[in-house]
Amino acid sequence: MRAANTPVNNQGKAQPSELFGTVVVAGVGLIGGSVALGLRERLLTRHIIGLDASAAALEEALALGVIDEARTSVGEWLRAADLVVLAVPVKALSPLAQALAPYLSPSALITDVGSVKTSIAAAFEALSVRNFVPGHPMTGSERGGVSNASAALLENAVWVLTPTERTPLTALSRMRRLVEQLGAAPLVMPPDAHDSLVATVSHLPYLASLALTHMVARDERLSLLAAGGFRDLTRVASGDPRMSRDMVVENKLALREALSSFLRQLTHLAETLDDPEELLAAASEGKRTRDNLPVVKRSLLPPKYDLVVAVPDKPNQIGAITRILGEASINIKDIEVLAIREHGGAIRLGLEEAGDVDRAAELLRGEGYMTRNRG
């Protein structure tokens, strides 16, 4: 069994020492959980506290070793935090900021991961919270929840930082270092510039996906013909409907401008249907642009087929888990103990093939175990 949590980079060199003593992740879902795992796996903090209104989400995060301590409400305990990460849906960011502000240490670094920046930047400026650096890691997944969190989700992702006029340079510098140590690439711009850009590259594609899926839903024949290309084009429509709605509504001013530009482009393309050469030129430009888009590689390490399993404090649990998978002919290549606590712990199973991860997770969940994919 290899040593747990040995901090090395892709060249085998030791990672830098911890950046923060105590970290609070407010909102223990996909992104919040991924940030927590990135901090833990790179040994950038000693202690991670999860703050969430959902006791079930906190229980799952504890069981899977994502956090060390759980809280369901704000209070004086927040003064011990050296870093606070707000990872709740965009609609909940401003109310959460108001609730947290009275308890934050003046020296704590505060950031968020919301996809709209102008509103939360204004909220924190009104609250006179000094070391706030708005942020947005440009990453995600259709599968939400802490069970799908992964430190690899942040690797090589662009992480936009949108400081305001009141953001201290020292706070921005600390945040840049954190982003880099999590394996992401920081990009600094004003909050309104961020919102304008993501309206085009993120929020507009979501509305376009909705429009296309609605057309299919209204004609059963179309659904029979909608194959791989259509599914790829409309992938973002599979996101959480309520969170996606709040995201686009929060950025509606910039999104309306992007929609107007998009409609002009569609009108122009409709006109080129009578001019094949002009349509060919438009198609060639589209191909060049699409082919030149950067491909984000989440990790430079060989792929790992890992599954993390929460293990209750009962006798012979590892034996029971290996028996369940063995009977299904799922080969376990490696077992690592990640966490041990009073009421149980978590183990990592290294599996032989990528398809084994989903099969193993389904089997173990059917037996009452909680699991999450890793890497």
195-291 matches 306-374 in fold: no
User: Between 104 and 166, where is the model more confident?
Assistant: 104
How far CA 264 is from CA of 47, 211, 259, 267, 270, in Å, comes to 52, 16, 9, 5, 10
| Extents of the domains making up the chain | 20-191, 195-291, 306-374
Rounded to 10°, the helix 241-250/204-217 angle is: 130
What value does the mean pLDDT of the chain take? Answer: 87
In this predicted model, what pLDDT tens digit does every residue of 181-193 receive, in sequence order? 999 999 999 999 9
In this predicted model, what pLDDT tens digit does every residue of 197-215 receive, in sequence order? 999 999 999 999 999 999 9
Residues ≥6 apart with Cβ < 8 Å to 97: 86, 120, 123, 124, 127, 129
Architecture of domain 195-291: Orthogonal Bundle (1.10)
Question: Residue 335: which pLDDT band, with cuts at 50, 70 and 90?
Answer: confident
Q: Which of 90-94, 122-126, 142-146 has the lowest mean pLDDT?
A: 142-146
Mean pLDDT of 114-140: 92
Return the SS3 of 87.
coil
In whole angstroms, what is the distance from residue 45 CA to residue 83 CA?
9
Best CA proximity match to 36, nearest among 76, 72, 82, 85: 85
DSSP state of 274: T
pLDDT at 341: 64
Question: Residue 336: which pLDDT band, with cuts at 50, 70 and 90?
Answer: confident
Q: Which of 18-22, 103-107, 136-140, 158-162 has the lowest mean pLDDT?
A: 18-22
Q: Which fold has domain 20-191?
A: Rossmann fold (3.40.50)
Q: The pTM is what? A: 0.75
How far CA 321 is from CA of 3, 185, 314, 365, 371, in Å, comes to 21, 38, 12, 11, 12
Architecture of domain 306-374: 2-Layer Sandwich (3.30)
